[in-house]
Chains A and B, each alone.
Chain A
Amino acid sequence: MEPRVTTAVASAPVTAQAFKSDTKPIWCPGCGDYSVLSSISKALAMLGLRPENVAVVSGIGCSSRIPAYTTCYGLHGVHGRALAAATGLKTARPDLTVLVAGGDGDGYSIGGNHFLHACRRNVDLTYIVMDNHVYGMTKGQPSPTTEPDWDSKLSPGGTGLRTFHPLVIALAAGANFIARAFSGDPNGTADILADAIRTPGFSFVEVLSPCVTFRPEQREWKKQVRPAPVATTDDPARAARRIITDDGFNIGVLYKGNRKPYRASVDRATKPLTDLESDFVI
């Protein structure tokens, strides 16, 4: 968990490049996740943060490899459990900026329940889901956001299942910031991420990030995405109408609320460990 860049002078601004580690990504050439990594780096630099003040927590999957590619503190954890680990980290260390990153399978299926309750609890986290509508790491199984008629060797004829709608569910469950971004617009994504990090509470950013290996047709997304034709709203009902009726390609901050973020009680957080342990002595 040691940050890998600590040599910079404390007051000097950190460049985006300084948030990238020497570990080379093993994502497929053409994968959208490369650009998401760039966007995260840019957003952190734009906000004037330093690697030692940021933690990146992930689960399992292609996109969940991202902590290793940054110079921040990192936890590459258990499948679907990134939000649980991040919630604990942020509660214990509210001074840290905590980003949570992963894919649609990790976040909406294996970690689906954690997603609901992270939205509900509204801990000050930024959750970045690189959504490519497929389980890439395990060779192309349908994920919760896969279209019902996606025909593949592993899902002949398609699953026939209704797709999970993460933005609607995030809104219903209480997320305080909801946005959709596109990896093919790394600077636009960086702006959205910076906004998400700045906004207190649970910020959810779905980034459409093509899987060029198992979903090569997603290269066409660059022609389909567009800026959302509406301004950001703080009205959940209005946001719900917009999100539920859009086609999944509107890019921008779609909802920014005013919920007070969850913070642990100061009394409890400062209670000595020995006091806590005493309750468990047999």
Chain B
Amino acid sequence: MSPAKAPRTISRKGKVSRIARAKQRKKPSAKPSVGGEADFLARAWTMEVEAAERYAMLADAMHEHNNLGVAELFRKLARIEQLHADRILEENLSKHAPALPPGGFRWDGGEGPETADPGELHYRMQPYHALQIALTSEKRAQKFFADLARNAAQATVRKAAQEMAEDEAEHVRLIEEWLKRTPPPERDWERDPDPPAQSD
């Protein structure tokens, strides 16, 4: 691979690029479609579970490529999302997961609002980048609930969505704090002294 030629969604300075920002603007749609309160809570729970499963997958991918620091961070994010899912179950649903449509929910704009994009990964990425991905996901989730809090047909859904939006806003704040404590990526973080495209 030629790092100099690689179009980056994560810049050398660790800033989210134009592509990622455009995506952030695109998802979720302005008026997410949700039925009644039970549907809303099932979606909220599913959103957290899907986010946890995705982070676990990203952790596995980084572990396979010996980027253990980032793998552990994704693993931690997966645990956090699973805790959120468990909390939604305990507080709002029951001890049992809700019945979902086969293949899961259909989300406006693609995957669940909190699900990280696996296409954003790079095998030499650093914890700072992983946190940027998490921040983007949390902001999408926060926007999803905020939109619902404004637009949902039922008052009970609007109220629940407002609470979730506040929770997600808190998560955004926590990740931003976490980012402040995390060293920014090194200047040549992408540079691989033994690049995979080297011909033998």
- Taking Cβ atoms with an 8 Å cutoff, the residues of A that contact B are 13, 15-17, 24-32, 34-35, 42-43, 45-48, 139-140, 152-154, 183-188, 190, 194, 210, 212-214, 216-217, 219-220, 222-223
Contacts and interface: CB of A to CB of B under 8 A. Distances in A.
A140 B57 CA distance: 25
A222 B119 contact: yes
B102 A45 contact: yes
A-B CB proximity, top 6 nearest = A46-B103, A29-B121, A216-B6, A30-B121, A42-B103, A45-B103
21 contacts: A13-B102, A16-B104, A29-B58, A29-B123, A29-B125, A31-B118, A43-B103, A45-B103, A46-B102, A48-B102, A139-B196, A152-B197, A186-B111, A187-B110, A194-B103, A213-B123, A214-B1, A216-B2, A216-B5, A222-B119, A223-B22
Contacts of B60: 24-25
A17 B65 contact: no
Contacts of A213: 1, 123, 196-197
B191 to A, nearest CB: 14
Contacts of A43: 103
B82 interface: no
Interface of B: 1-2, 5-7, 9, 19, 22-23, 53, 57-58, 60-65, 67, 100, 102-104, 106-107, 110-111, 117-123, 125, 196-200
Given A29-B123, A188-B110, A140 B197 contact: yes
B109 to A, nearest CB: 9
A214 to B, nearest CB: 6
A220 B53 CA distance: 25
A29 B196 contact: no
Contacts, number: 107
A216 B7 contact: yes
A149 to B, nearest CB: 14
A35 B197 contact: no
Contact of A217 (B7, B53, B61, B198): B7
Q: Is the interface of A mostly helix, strand, loop or mixed?
A: loop
Nearest to B100: A15
A117 B107 CA distance: 38
A186 B102 CA distance: 15
A28 B195 CA distance: 13
A30 B6 CA distance: 13
A31 B118 CA distance: 8
Contacts of B196: 28, 139-140, 213-214
Given A42-B104, A214-B1, A185 B122 contact: no
Contacts of B200: 139
B122 A30 contact: yes
B103 A219 contact: no
Contacts of B118: 29-31, 34-35
Nearest to A46: B103
B106 A187 contact: yes
